[in-house]
Amino acid sequence: MTKQEKVAFVIDQLEEKYPETPIPLDHKDPYTLLIAVLLSAQSTDKGVNKVTPILFNRADNPYDMIKLSVEEIREIIKPVGLSPMKSKGIYGLSHIIIDQHHGKVPQTFEDLEALPAVGHKTAGVVMSQAFNIPAFPVDTHIHRLMYRWGFTNGKNVMQTEKDAKRLFPIEIWNKLHLQIIFYGREYSPARGWNLENDIITKTIGRKTIINSYHKKRVIK
């Protein structure tokens, strides 16, 4: 297969398996999505979805959020981890959204990434899923699969993002990044990986990855 044929194969497989791509983090608007994505750093979507109903019952907009103290926010979000940093970030960004953006979540990467505790990936998720602006946020699943499939050198997530944007059509970025995440979780995880179930990697993956997998299986 040529690289373009591999890209087409990936798109077809993912569209067949995941024609619908619901956002896995519960939210109702750009602000609650921003908070949920921020909370998901080094945590699971399931864990975040247990915490956000409690938090959003107290404050689901920046005006109500700043009525809480950092300590109150921290106590609520403690189960998802990194609560000291995340609580300060939530409180701080809520103030900035009110003071600098009239209470609305900004719609540019520059403004989003200027918010406390908001990195490039978080900004990308908000841009793509809240505002439908093309973006390709790269998480650990996408970074792993893009390398396994031979589409990137795996050096860092920024390079992986550039390679993904170069290979895949811009009009499908917003849906595709979720499809890859879903596929990675179900068929190509970092641990407990079964190559026989991973049709994409089995078909187009790096030979070094596939050979390494088989060697480990033989040793076991």
Which of 121, 155, 198, 220 does the annotation list as catalytic?
121
**CA–CA–CA angle 26, 32, 38 (5° rounding):** 90
Tokens describing residue 216: 């480990």
Confirm whether 12 is a catalytic residue: no
Check if the beta carbon of residue 25 is closer than 8 Å to that of residue 45: yes
Confirm whether 121 is a catalytic residue: yes
Using CB atoms within 10 Å of the CB of residue 81, give its burial: 0 to 12 exposed, 13 to 18 middle, 19+ buried. middle
Q: Which long-range contacts (CB under 8 A, 24 or more apart) does 87-90 make?
A: 88/116, 88/117, 89/38, 89/115, 89/116, 89/117, 89/118, 90/35, 90/38, 90/65, 90/117
Which of 139, 163, 207, 215 does the annotation list as catalytic?
139
Alpha helices of 78-206 — where are they, by DSSP H?
A: 83-101, 109-113, 120-125, 140-148, 157-167, 173-187, 199-204
Catalytic residues, by residue number, are 121, 139
